[in-house]
Structure 1
Amino acid sequence: MLRSLHLDGVGPADQLNLELGERLNLLTGDNGLGKSFVLEVAWWALTGSWTERPVLPQQGREESARIAGAAEPGTLSGQFESKYDRVAQQWRDRFGRDRGLGLTSIPAGVVMPSWVRGLVPVLYIRTNGACSVWDPNRNSPWTGSAPYRSLSAPSLDPHPYLFEEKALWNGLEHDGRPVCNGLVQDWTTWQLEAAEAEEAHPFQLLRRVLDQLSHPEEKMKPGKPVRLYLDDVRKFPTVELPYGTIPVVHASAGMKRILSLSYLIAWSWSEHVQASRLIGWPPSDRIVVLMEEPETHLHPKWQRHIVPALLGVLSELSPSMRPQVMLTTHSPLVLASIEPHFKPAKDKLFVFELEDADVTVRELPWAKRGDAIGWLTSPVFGLEQARSIEAERAVEAAEAFMRGETGALPEGLRNEDDIHRELVRLLPDQDRFWPRWIVRREHAGS
């Protein structure tokens, strides 16, 4: 569980400092300012691995760049700091290879450090359908089921499960060995073998997660698996919807994202519980989820449902579960949906901004904005008005005219009649600006 991240000379910002909330962290701001970059660094800080290539220091900062931070006491060795090794083209190891543990294998007689048992499962969900899973009980160099380790020379590198969208649905292999069967096969297998009374069965967990993440008006319930294709002998899961039953592979893009997320949570947690039983450790009471733009592909009514539902799902994985969620968003509806659930003692809101060509990040004090328009015109999104560009221009011209600031009016809106015609063209009859404008015109005798 991350408590802070401090970046110097790496990423879009020269310096970035985040004191994170223990439960929910919302990262907002314009495109290209480093929100997803922070999630990538958070993944490394939690797992010791990168999903692709390591991030690079800014040019000219190779010697001074650093990634530092702190984790919850008892996990991840507390404080950490890493410098960039220009020769190795890597950041110094997150899990302590500089402590004399060797570069390629665990030496005979080395005892697993106690802090390894404090590491937590981490899920990272991307907007492109890819996702990553790291479970200390399966993926750390100290446990026997890490997917890529050699029994004769176990590697100290942590090896997470890295899924492209296709692999999450159809299965993931390494060296010819399956490490995940994928949504299609697991769902069907779980469904055919599960008994209604087996609450701990992965299929029962999948059903509960899917029920909670689905919108209340369009609940997705597992239907009967069906054979679909001549050249694919698998049976495919189906979902029952208010308008009928469809195969999961024919679902909409938004529903596929919910299906994928539901399966990812059910599979990851079920595998974690099984691995805990095999190695004799209790399951973790913490989990970290990193997620890019949960609103992707979702209708507005789903956008205002997904994050509260996700927090509920994670909290119910075990009676003592304490999830930490970090997510990026561009959706005012997502932020509006959090208002009844935001806990200032545990949650944080950050905005990434561009100030004179410098990227800055600041924590905003939480304040209710009431609705999507309130969020759009708040410091989070910074719009002057929640209108089209043309309508905003016309309303601003009308306001300037009413203040008597006629010298700054734009071309085509230099007099009252031109402004009025543009307002009539652009604004709906019920627009809240009309009473002000009409009263002004009546007083002026127009």
Structure 2
Amino acid sequence: MLNHLHLSNVGLAPDLRINWAPRINLVTGDNGLGKSFLLDLAWWALTRTWAGAVALPATSAKKPTLGYGVQGAGSKATKVESEFRRADASWPLPAGKPPMPGIVIYIRIDGGFSVWDPARNYWRTDPGRPSAYHFQAPQVWDGLDLNGQRVCEGLERDWVNWQQGQKPQFAALESVLRALSPPGEPLRAGGAQRVFIGEGRDRPTLLVGGQTVPVALASAGVRRVLALAYFLVWAWHEHREAARLLGKQPEERLVLLFDEPETHLHPRWQRVILPSLLAAIDSLRGDQSRAPQLLVASHSPLVAASLEPLFDSAQDDLMHLGVHSGQVLVRQGLWAKQGDATNWLVSDIFGLEQARSLDAERAIEAAEAFMRGDKPLPKGLDSKAAINRQLQRLLAAEDDFWPRWLVETGALPSVGSSSPPKAKPARKARQ
């Protein structure tokens, strides 16, 4: 597993250190501050390969360095530090075999996947062995060739081969799909069938209600989850098969890097995707296996809220990237239960003042200023009547702000508008 990352004069921060928890790590922060960049660096530290472009420090950066610690089967992490070499745009690393972190899977935001397999990328010593397996989005479905060798048939062909051959991979795929399914809508495999005229192969399908839907025509959210399920099964079973051929004991440890798991998913699915992922891994490996390490970057309050029943500060962490005095800093150990997604939105993690539209937020801020007696008030919201009209236009009748506004100002809705109901309990205070 990954123990820590230390960036010096790399990226947007002059000095940044993250100590990774052994199980769940949720990375939050605004766009453009480096969450995906941290996952790219974590992949490099774990596998000594790049899933995309090599990290390039600014030309003005003095002595840019990347440090990390990877823990293998032993109890201590091996510390490594690399200084960027501008002559060949590389990050030199010590010679010799590094610690082996287990199977590493990177679910990228662009629809691609990267897989690092100890049996195929570490234990092998032949000169033709690949450093890792990197799939662009189309290769997830159509397969991957490396150096003239077919290394993966892709989701659709493997699915059909596993299903028609009644292989254990298909039973594992069905189990993982059940675990990853959205509430009340199980992902069930249908029979393979021809889909496109003139094509000489069958394609996999899903049973959706009373209909059969080819996976090639499924929605973007369903396809991303299908790809996730497929790569969990493919990486796990291919590792075990390669270990058998090498006469090695297969590896049980697993590290997953997941960039924005909420992408394309409905809120009902967002709030279960990470717990479902852990359940899917358990169904694949068996409950006796040690917990995987998850490094997850997310913008979703529902993803954060979904972890409340699972979170254990002894083995999990929530971290936030923010800008302070013009520099990107990371804060760790920030976990605090918020109770619901709205409270997460207005927490320090996501930083909204209110979980409403921007216009409604401005109207309420003007109302707050009016009740405090502040002057001047915003243009267009500079009287009680103007504020009241805007609140009626923007707020729902049952909004929690109405009782306070009506009691403190005596304002009443205009004729013909719906009257606000009785006050509801105030939401939990922002932390």
When the two structures are superposed, what TM-score results if normalisation uses the length of structure 2?
A: 0.91
Partners in 1 of 2:320 and 2:363 — Cα distance? Answer: 29
For residue 408 of structure 2, give the secondary structure of its aligned residue in structure 1.
helix
Confirm or deny that 1:193 pairs with 2:165.
Answer: yes
Confirm or deny that 1:357 pairs with 2:326.
Answer: yes
**Deviation of residue 347 (structure 1)?**
0.5
Q: Which residue in the other structure is 2:313 paired with?
A: 344
Distance 1:18 1:210, change over 3 A: same
For residue 408 of structure 1, give the secondary structure of its aligned residue in structure 2.
coil
Q: Which residue in the other structure is 1:168 paired with?
A: 140
Q: Which residue in the other structure is 1:312 paired with?
A: 279
For residue 14 of structure 1, give the secondary structure of its aligned residue in structure 2.
strand
Confirm or deny that 1:177 pairs with 2:149.
Answer: yes
Quick check: 1:124–1:289 contact (8 Å CA) kept in 2? yes
Partners in 2 of 1:344 and 1:364 — Cα distance? Answer: 8
Quick check: 1:122–1:289 contact (8 Å CA) kept in 2? yes
Partners in 1 of 2:101 and 2:339 — Cα distance? Answer: 38
Moved more, 256-265 or 306-315: 306-315
Quick check: 1:25–1:325 contact (8 Å CA) kept in 2? yes
C-alpha RMSD over aligned residues: 1.9
- The Cα offsets for residues 240-293 of structure 1, whole Å up to 9 and x where unpaired, read as 122422010010111001111000101010101111111122221211000110
For residue 235 of structure 1, give the secondary structure of its aligned residue in structure 2.
coil
| Letter matched to residue 69 of structure 1 | Y
Confirm or deny that 1:120 pairs with 2:87.
Answer: no
Quick check: 1:285–1:322 contact (8 Å CA) kept in 2? no
For residue 55 of structure 2, give the secondary structure of its aligned residue in structure 1.
coil
Confirm or deny that 1:401 pairs with 2:401.
Answer: no
Quick check: 1:49–1:160 contact (8 Å CA) kept in 2? yes
Distance 1:274 1:321, change over 3 A: farther
Quick check: 1:350–1:361 contact (8 Å CA) kept in 2? yes
Confirm or deny that 1:424 pairs with 2:392.
Answer: yes
For residue 228 of structure 1, give the secondary structure of its aligned residue in structure 2.
coil
Partners in 2 of 1:59 and 1:374 — Cα distance? Answer: 42
**Deviation of residue 443 (structure 1)?**
8.8
| Letter matched to residue 390 of structure 2 | E
Q: Which residue in the other structure is 2:70 paired with?
A: 71
Partners in 1 of 2:311 and 2:21 — Cα distance? Answer: 11
Partners in 2 of 1:133 and 1:320 — Cα distance? Answer: 20
Q: Which residue in the other structure is 1:303 paired with?
A: 270
**Deviation of residue 208 (structure 1)?**
0.6
Q: Which runs of 5+ in 2 are unaligned?
A: 415-431
Q: Which residue in the other structure is 2:51 paired with?
A: 51
**Deviation of residue 194 (structure 1)?**
1.1
Partners in 2 of 1:73 and 1:43 — Cα distance? Answer: 15
1:91-240 matches, within 5 Å, as 91-93=91-93, 96-97=94-95, 118-140=100-122, 142-144=123-125, 149-150=127-128, 159-194=131-166, 201-240=168-207
- The Cα offsets for residues 100-147 of structure 1, whole Å up to 9 and x where unpaired, read as xxxxxxxxxxxxx5x66x44111111121111111121012x405x7x
Confirm or deny that 1:384 pairs with 2:353.
Answer: yes
Partners in 2 of 1:258 and 1:431 — Cα distance? Answer: 36
Partners in 1 of 2:280 and 2:145 — Cα distance? Answer: 28
1:222-261 matches, within 5 Å, as 222-261=189-228
Partners in 1 of 2:87 and 2:348 — Cα distance? Answer: 43
**Deviation of residue 74 (structure 1)?**
4.0
Confirm or deny that 1:262 pairs with 2:243.
Answer: no
**Deviation of residue 87 (structure 1)?**
1.6
Partners in 2 of 1:73 and 1:247 — Cα distance? Answer: 41
Distance 1:86 1:216, change over 3 A: same
Partners in 2 of 1:18 and 1:175 — Cα distance? Answer: 37
Quick check: 2:71–2:101 contact (8 Å CA) kept in 1? no
For residue 360 of structure 1, give the secondary structure of its aligned residue in structure 2.
strand
Identity of aligned residues (%): 44
Confirm or deny that 1:414 pairs with 2:382.
Answer: yes
When the two structures are superposed, what TM-score results if normalisation uses the length of structure 1?
A: 0.88
For residue 349 of structure 2, give the secondary structure of its aligned residue in structure 1.
coil
Moved more, 312-321 or 250-259: 312-321
Corresponding pairs, count: 410
Distance 1:418 1:430, change over 3 A: same
Moved more, 28-37 or 118-127: 118-127
Q: Which runs of 5+ in 1 are unaligned?
A: 100-112, 196-200
Counterpart selection for 1:281 from 235, 238, 248: 248
Q: Which residue in the other structure is 1:88 paired with?
A: 88
Moved more, 130-139 or 357-366: 357-366
Quick check: 2:101–2:255 contact (8 Å CA) kept in 1? no
Partners in 1 of 2:118 and 2:29 — Cα distance? Answer: 32
For residue 387 of structure 2, give the secondary structure of its aligned residue in structure 1.
helix
Partners in 2 of 1:302 and 1:250 — Cα distance? Answer: 19
